[in-house]
Amino acid sequence: MRNVERISKCLILFRRKLIFLDFTDNDELYHKFLKNYKFIKSEWLKHPDMRFGQLLCSLRYVENLDTESKIWNIEELKWLKTKKYLNENIKN
């Protein structure tokens, strides 16, 4: 099971437009994410084993198949660390 502690840290970073767009390349999705932030956070906390992209797709916020195929399997914590957006030692 993935570490629930990663969720809050990841969401804080994904609220930054440049990081979110680097992850999804979808401006419309970014605005949906901001508008529904509290709901998305509560759902992710209920299902912490889901990946961020998988959660967005499962909640039906992703309408573009190219975006869905791009983000579904990304391990968000690993991605954030690889991109150097996150330096903390948080376990998956």
Q: Is the confidence at residue 91, as pLDDT, over 70?
A: no
| Amino acid identity at 59 | L
Q: Is residue 90 in a domain?
A: no
Q: Beta-carbon neighbour count of residue 86 at 10 Å?
A: 20
Specify the DSSP element, H or E, that contains 36: none
Number of domains in the chain: 1
pTM: predicted TM-score of the whole model, two decimal places? 0.91
Q: Give the whole-angstrom CA distance, residue 77 versus residue 58.
A: 19
Q: Beta-carbon neighbour count of residue 77 at 10 Å?
A: 21
26-54 per-position pLDDT tens digit: 999 999 999 999 999 999 999 999 999 99
Contact between 77 and 10 under an 8 Å Cβ cutoff? The reply is yes
Token pair recorded at residue 43: 């759902």
pLDDT category at 87 given cuts 50, 70, 90 is confident
Q: Is residue 35 in a domain?
A: yes
Q: Is residue 87 in a domain?
A: no
